[in-house]
Amino acid sequence: MSANRPGTALSKPLAVTMVVIGLGGLLGAFELATEYVKTLQNPAYTPNCSLNILVTCGPNMQSWQGSLFGFPNALLGLMCFIFPIAVGMSTLAGARMARWYWQLFNIGMLGGYVFITWLYSQSIFVIGTLCPWCMEVWFFMIFGFWYITAWNLREGHFGSGLKRFGVWLFHWAWVVSLLNLVLIAVLAEIRLGWIEFLL
C-alpha cells in the first residue's frame, strides 16, 4: 500500500463490536457442530438445544438445508466467523486496510447475511422449528452485516454518492438490525405461533 493511500480502519468501538460479533457467531456455530457430532455418535442423543417440539435444533441439523453444500452448515460458521474477529483485532493492533479489502469483507458479510436469511426462511416456513443456536448465529450475523455495510458506505468505499446515506444508516444501524430481528419474530409468530406455544 503506497504512502498516498494509507487505507482506513474501523473505530475502536466498531472494532470491538466486530470481535464480539465474531465470537458470538463462532460460539453458536461451535455448539451446532459439537451437537451434530454427538448425534452421529449416538442417534438416541437429545441435543442440548432441544427444549420442546418447536424450539429445537435436531430437525434443522438433520435436514438437507442444514448441510446445503454437502457438509454441516456449522462448519461454514466455524470458518467464516473468524474473519470479523481477525478484522477487529487487526484494527485494534493499528492496522489500516485498503478500500478493496473492506469491499471484499463487506461482500463476504453480505454472503453470510443472504445465507442466514435463506436459513431462517427455511426454518420457519419449511422445517417448522426454531433452533436456538441457529438463532444466535442469525443475531450476530444480522448486526455484523448492517454495521459493516453502513460503515463502508459512510467511508465512501462503495462510492462517494452513498456516503450521506451511509452516515444515516450507521447512526441507525442498531435500529435496522432490531427491526430485522423483529421481522423474523413476526414471521415465526405468523407461521408457527411461538408466543402462544410458549405461554
Average pLDDT over residues 129-143: 96
> For residue 3, is pLDDT > 80?
no
Q: Write the pLDDT tens digit of every residue in 23-38.
A: 999 999 999 999 999 9
pTM for the whole structure: 0.93
Q: Which pLDDT belongs to residue 2? A: 41
> For residue 123, is pLDDT > 80?
yes
> For residue 5, is pLDDT > 90?
no
> For residue 185, is pLDDT > 60?
yes
Name residue, grid cell 455484523: 144
Q: Which pLDDT belongs to residue 1? A: 41
Q: How confident is the model at residue 52 (pLDDT cuts 50, 70, 90)?
A: confident
Q: Write the pLDDT tens digit of every residue in 76-111.
A: 999 999 999 999 999 999 999 999 999 999 999 999
Share of the chain above pLDDT 90, in %: 86
Q: Which domains does the chain have, with CATH numbers?
A: 12-198 (1.20.1440)
